[in-house]
Structures are given as structure tokens and as C-alpha cells.
Structure 1
Amino acid sequence: LFTLASAACALAGSTGELIGARIVQGLATALYMPQVLGTITAGFDGAKRARAFAGYGLAMGLAAVFGQLIGGVLIHADLFGLGWRTIFWINVPVGAAAVALLRRLVPESRGTGRTRLDVAGTALVAAGLVAVLLPLIQGRAQGWPLWTWLSFAAAAALLGTFVLVQRRSAARGGTPLVEPALFRQRSFSAGVVLALVYNMAMGSFFLYLALYLQQGHGLGALGSGVLFLATGGGYLVASKLSERAAARWGRQVLTVGALLQALGYGVIAVAVQLVGGHGSVAWLAPGMAMAGAGMGLALVPMPGIVLAGVEPRHAASAGGVLSTAQQVGGALGIAVVGLVFYGRAGADVHLGGAFTWSLVPLAVLCTVVAALVQALPRGARTS
């Protein structure tokens, strides 16, 4: 489904068609991402599970970092005159290869018994999240009219009802979208909140850095993608050390990673002010490498630490909750930090001030992550 939706994005003839195809991409991602985490949880134990989760975290981080460069190269190359459409066409052969290799490389891990889709729960949580995100994205530009506050109130009601519906379904022996029993595990409930906040601090950073480089300093997609290599280099080095660090420090490896990432954001903010409107943006590279190293230490072991205590029978549900927390965190981060960025942009032609101020909440969020790590059980590890 994701592969077909990618082809539809590439073939889109209007903005509406592109948005529709992107929605289908999101639905496809929501279907398969929890299965990846569930398969790892159900199919591996002990040290093997820790290594599998580390591989998952490494792949996610590399995709976030090097995807910027690959996208820039494809757009700059303008293969066959397709321009931006190549960033969607590339998913087609990759997706086809993944489907072909799936049966050969991924072990089967079916659940026991038949389950029914929790339609009511799915509708409630989807509507609730839209009711939160939409006013955050549109509210500032429209002057926070009445509908934005009504939307927030509706979100609280919808998400509260979702919790009640899930508890009632579980009590009646049904198959809720989210298994309430999972949140009785301290390591999981604290870890999900931690993952949400962490992704608020990471996902939005890439977007607003790209806007600063491209709109503020006139870099093309390729130029900004090349600068992202600094973040990728830091990430690669730290990710190689993360498994050993997690085995030695346990949960505190997340603390070190989050604080290093916050420090990197601070160094970038100083560099942005030194660069001004006409200096070389290459001065951002040291801070970007530092932030990338923090991401490598935090992101790679995080799934393993959060899901370490989950029973195999709850693997798919737990994976779905964690994946949703990561995606919602990224969306919330973009919306919330966007209030700061666009609120400061105004006549700031080079966007230096806007980007600097947007780094403040990102650094604060990383510090909050370091504090939330302390809520995890002392023995929390990846295995």
C-alpha cells in the first residue's frame, strides 16, 4: 500500500491529489510500523532482542538524517525532468524489493485467535489528534479565533472518550486498539511519554533547519542536504557506541544523549548568530555533529528500553502505541515550534532570529526528556 501510494504521489497532478496520496502513505505506515516492533518483540529474546531494537533505532535515525541528503541529490539531479517527483518514485523499487524479501527474511509471528478492528477506538483517537493539531497549525495565522479553542475542547472530550472505550472493551474481553494493561507497566507508560517528547525535539529540528538554510540563506536542496552530513556523521559514530553504552549505563544512556543533543542545539544557536545574514553556514557543522551524536545515543537504544518488559502477546499493541507516540510527537513538535519560528520570522529575511528562538524550546524539550528518563525503573535496559 505504501509503495502504491508513493507512485500516486509521484503522479499527482494537483495539490489535492498529492495530499490525498500522502494521507494514504500515512495510513500504510500506521499499518506496518507497529508490526515491525511487534515482530522484534515476539521473535527475539535477551541480547538478540536488544541488538534487533538497536538495528531498528539505527535505521530510523539514518533515514531521518540521510533522507535529507538523498532527497536533495534526487531533486538536484532532476532525473528525466521529473524534479521533486523522484523523491516518491524512489520508494517504488525499494518497496517492491522489500515485499519480495519479506517472506524470505522475516519470520512469521501470527497472533493466537481472530481479532476485530476497533473501529470506534480508531475513529476517536484519529479525530482527537486532528482536533489538537489543526488549531496548532492554523491558529496563529488566523489570530486564534473561537473555533481553535473549541477544537482543543473537543480534542479533550474525544481523547477522554477514547480512554473510556478502551477500558470498557478490555473489561468485556474485546480487542481494544490500545491494551490498557500495558500502561500498568511503569517502564512502558513512562517510556511512551518520553518517546513522544523526544520526537517533538528531533523531528521539528530537521524541518526548521532546512527552512533556515533554504529560505534564509538560499541554499538548494542539495546544499542543505550536504550540510546535514555533519549530523549524520555524529549520529553514525554515536550509534556504534550506543549498544555498549546502554549495556553499561542502562537508562542513563538516554539522559546523556538528550543532554548532548540539547548542548548541540545551543552551539548551533550561537553559530547562527555569528553567521548572521552573510557568513558561511558551515559554522553550524560542529553543533550539528554534536546534536547528531546525541541522537545516536538516545534514539538507537530507546525502543529496546521502552519495550523491554512487554509480553509477546501484547507486542503488536505496544509497538503500535510507541510508533504512534513517535509520529504524534513529531507532528506536535512541528506545530508547537512553528508557533515560535513563524512568530519571529516577520521581516527577518535571513531567518536567523526565528531559527535561533526555535532552538530554545527544542533544547528545553531535550532537557525534559533527560528528566523523564529518571521516571523509568532503575533497572530499565534494552534486554
Structure 2
Amino acid sequence: MAGREPQNGSTDPKAARRRWQALAVGLVAAFMTLLDVSIVNVAVPSMEAALRASPAELQWVLSGYALTFGLMLVPAGRFGDARGRRTVFVVGLALFTLTSAAAGLARSPTWLIIARLLQGAAAGVVNPQVVGLIQQLFHGPERGRPFGLLGATIGISTAIGPLLGGTLIHLEGTQEGWRWVFYVNVPVGIAAIFFAWRLIPAMPHGRPRRQSLDPIGVVLLGTGVVLLLLPLVQGQQWRSPLAWLLVPAGLVVLAGFLFWERRYSRHREPLFDLALFRRRSYSLGSLIALLYFAGFTAIFFIFTLYLQNGLGYSALLAGLAITPFALGSAASSAIGGRIVDRFGRPLVATGLAMVIAGLVATVITLHFVPGRGAPLALAGPLLLAGLGSGLVITPNQALALSEVPVAQGGSAAGMLQTGQRIGSAAGIAGVGAVFFASLNATGNGWSRAFRDALLVAIGFVLAAFVAALIDSRAGRKDNPPGGNLPSRAPTS
């Protein structure tokens, strides 16, 4: 029955099969919601022509999704912890499916922007439930495989978005093809809703319900995240330096959030338990995720611009050029999830070193092979970077959440993913600023601008590498050989 929860470690084959089926539904939903971060990039020229959208409106179509996505992650994760993940997951997935259809039906830029804002909020509701579900259904080392599959999903969805979007536009035409970028979510979403209600376990009977969802904490965190993200995601449209005053304002509000959570936790369950940051695995894992996503996401942003606007590639060819990274990430993510229990944080450091090596090779290759021959020449370096990326995202997430109590899995995952969204926005803003500044400089072409911006992205990944090395050294002091990942996470 749908209302009964499979027991972790159960020897019942039916129960074991059921939890893997539940995970499959979660991975499909995660793939859809994360795909919509990158798939829309290649559809921008088509949307601009079809809807006569201004650059500012197009920026909101892209960044509005990321903004509301990041806004909802922690509150939705906490709500799933408190009220049961199945209902929250299904409601979020239903909203995502409806708003995807609404985006595809858009007849004006304003319509599309509103649909994207709601779609991003729905994605933010769904994603923490997936990680919380892994925490709930799998224990200790057996989490390696599901986290590996989730990491592969993250890597593939981010990297394959431009290819899938380009294919849909190529098949349906430039005038209407962009609508199918959104329509493709509808049949998949409907099927996922049906199976989610049947397969994902409801809250176990007798589990205590929390009395409060910490509304003041929700408002403070949401306000702080919005103030922090707005100038980052709108950096190319808001030219006034005054816009950057929102960043210190956001930091002040977030400091107020920390003060409130510390005070609130004395009497009730807070929105987010700050004690989690006292666990080195979680605090350094969150920092690594923030820094890595700042570099990782920005690479696809500038690469797509370079290929389509600079070299005149079609949306389909631009997507194909990024495929080596996607294939490498998919292959190593599944492996990384299985071996993280054996190697721990040094595996993450190794993956980051591979990413850095691949990106440095990309810079060198562009120096010798600029222009239209570059994408083919970059296949090898991008494959190496992709293989490294798969050893970063999955193992880092598994390690960061390894000591998180199951009852806090959703909110902990939400905060981890919020850091990823902030990192992505900061990376795109910083790397994009260097890209456009170099492009506008006298005598600098598209290849030079791409190389200059790529060096900034490498800087973010290098900072994540240093954090991983620090954690690795501390881990060798604290743990015996083979003890990098606890065999069983706390349950309360």
C-alpha cells in the first residue's frame, strides 16, 4: 500500500524493489526541474523573435527561475520533514507541470516571466524532497548508489539541456520550437505524479508533527536570499552601482536570520538547525558545493554564448559541442557514488583536480585552435572536466549529508542546494562580467573573451579544491583508514 513505508535494510524483496522505484520517480522529477535551468538558454533567440521580448525581459525569463528556485528550497525541505515528503513532492510536481504548460502557451513576455517564476518556485519545492527521500529510505554506505544516480542526474540535466533544447528547436522550427522546451515536461510530469503517489511512502503513523513551521525564519531567509540573488541574476541589466547595495543588505538580513534561528531553537524546532554547521562534513561540503557550482554553471553560460553568438553555431550544434562534458559527468557520477564510502573527501579533491586540469587544457587549446575548429578540439578537455565533475557533485553531496539526522534531511538538503543556487548566480555574474568586459575591449574577439572568463571559472573551482584539501587533511586526523563516511547516519 502507498501509505506504508519500506523499512531501511529490509530483506523483503518487494519492499527493497519499491524503494528503488520511489527513487526512480524522484530522479525523473529532479531531472526535469534541473534541466529547466539550462535548456532555456538555447531557446532565447527564438523566444526573442516570437514574443518580441526585450533583453531585460529575456533576462527575467532566465534568472527568475533560478531566483524563485533558490527561495523555496529550505522552507520546502523543512515542510517535507515536518509534514511528510510524499504530499509536498506531489503538490510541487503538479505545480511544476501546470506552470510548464503555461510557459509553453505564453503569448507575451510578461506571461512567460510569471510562468517561469512559478515554475522555479515549484522546482524549489520538489528538489529537497528527493534528497530527503534518499536520507529516509537508505542508510549509511548503501546511500552511495542512490546519491551516485542523483549526481549523474544533476550532471546530465545541467550539461544536456542545451543539446535537448537545440534538438527540439531544430525539429519544431525556430518560431514554435521554443514552446516544446516547456511542453516536454507535461506528459512526463503527469506520469511522475501518478507513480509518486503510489510509490513514495507517506509519513509513518505515529510520527510526531511539529507545532510550528517557523514563519518568521521563513520570511527572514527568503528576504535575505532575494536581496542577495537579485543583483547577481540581474547584473547585466542593472547598470547602476547602487544595485549592489542589495548584497550587504541581504547579508544583514541573513545575519538576522541566524540570530532568530538561534533564539527560536531554544523553545521550538527552527526552520534550519544551525548546529548542522558544527559538523565539518556538512559545513565544508556546503562551501565546496557553493564554490564549485559558481564555476561549473558559469562554464555552460559563456560556452553557449561563445558558440551561438560568436561562432554562429545553431542551437543543436552548440548543444552537441557540450556533450563530451555531459557523457563524462554521467559516467563518473555513478562510479563516484559507489566508491565515496571507501575514499571519502580525497575523492572529491581528485575530481576537482581533474576539472581544473580539463579547464586549463581548454584555455590552452583555445589559444592554439581559436574559431570554428575549437569545439572539436575541446572534446578531450571537456570530457576530462566532465569525468572530474562526476567525482565532485555526487561524493560531496553524500559526504555533506552523511551525518545529518533523517528528520532534518529535507531542510539540510534545501540549505545545501540554496548554496548551490547562490554560487551559480554569483558565478554567472562574475564570469559573465569578465566575459562581456573582455568582449567589449578593443581588439578582443569571442575566443579571447571566452578564455578570460574561463580563467575566472577556474578560480572558483580552485577555491573549492583548497576547501576539499583542508577537509581531507582534517579527516585523516579524525578518522582511521576507511572511516571517511559514517556507516550509519544519526536518526534523530
Q: TM-score range by the shorter chain?
A: over 0.9
Kindly tell me: are residues 239 and 86 of structure 1, through their superposed partners in 2, closer, same or farther at Cα, counting changes over 3 Å? same
Tell me the residue number matched to 1:304. 398
Q: TM-score, normalised by structure 2?
A: 0.73
In structure 2, the residue matched to 1:7 is 101
Residue in 1 that maps onto 2:218: 122
- Matched with 1:368 is 463
Aligned residue identity for 1:172: H
* CA RMSD in angstroms, aligned pairs only: 2.2
Q: 1:116 to 1:79 in 2, by over 3 A?
A: farther
Indicate the residue corresponding to 1:100 in structure 2: 194
Equivalence map 1:1-383=2 (5 Å): 1-78=95-172, 82-109=176-203, 112-138=208-234, 144-145=240-241, 147-173=242-268, 175-346=269-440, 350-376=445-471, 378=475, 379-381=483-485, 383=487
Q: Which amino acid is 1:15 matched to? A: P
Q: Is the contact between residue 144 and residue 339 of structure 2 (CA under 8 Å) also seen in structure 1? A: no
Aligned counterparts of 1:328 and 1:138: Cα–Cα separation in 2: 13
Deviation at 1:372, TM superposition (A): 0.9
What is the CA-CA distance between 1:349 and the residue it aligns to?
7.5
Instruction: Measure the CA separation in 2 of the matches of 1:102 and 1:128.
Output: 33
Q: 1:382 to 1:92 in 2, by over 3 A?
A: farther
Whichever residue aligns with residue 417 of structure 2, its letter is: S
Q: Is the 8 A contact 1:133 1:335 kept in 2?
A: no
Quickly say closer, same or farther: Cα 1:140–1:17, change in 2 above 3 A.
closer
Percentage identity across aligned positions?
Answer: 36
| C-alpha distance 244-79 of structure 1, shift in aligned 2 (>3 A) | same
**Is this contact kept in 1: 2:101–2:182, CA < 8 A?**
yes
Deviation at 1:240, TM superposition (A): 4.2
Q: Distance in 1 between matches of 2:98 and 2:365?
A: 42
Q: 2:447, 2:392 → 1: CA distance?
A: 28
In the alignment, is the contact (CA less than 8 A) between 1:277 and 1:350 conserved in 2? no
Contact 1:65 1:228 in 2 (8 A): yes
What is the number of residues matched between the two proteins? 381
Deviation for aligned residue 1:287: 1.2
The answer to whether the Cα contact below 8 Å between 1:54 and 1:301 also exists between their aligned partners in 2 is yes
Answer yes or no: is the 8 Å Cα contact 2:344–2:395 preserved in 1.
no
Change (3 A) 1:375 1:364: same
CA drift of 1:115 comes to 4.5
What amino acid maps onto 1:29 in structure 2? A
Distance 2:416 2:119 in 1: 19
Alignment check: 8 A CA contact 2:147 2:337 kept: no
Partner of 2:4: none
1:303/1:350 Cα in 2 relative to 1: closer, same or farther (>3 Å)?
same
Q: Tell me the CA shift for residue 341 of structure 1.
A: 1.1
- 4+ runs of 1 displaced by more than 6 Å? none
The question of whether the paired residues in 2 share the 8 Å contact of 1:246 and 1:382 is answered with: no
TM-score normalized by structure 1?
Answer: 0.92
Which structure's relative contact order is higher, taking Cα pairs within 8 Å and 6+ residues apart? 1
1:199-233: per-residue Cα shift (whole Å, max 9, x none)? 11111111111111111101111001111111122
The offset of 1:197, in angstroms, is 1.0
Cα distance, 1:141–1:69 mapped onto 2, change above 3 Å: closer
Ranges in structure 1 where 5+ consecutive residues have no aligned partner? none
CA spacing shift, 1:382–1:14, aligned 2, 3 Å: farther
SS in 2 for 1:202: helix
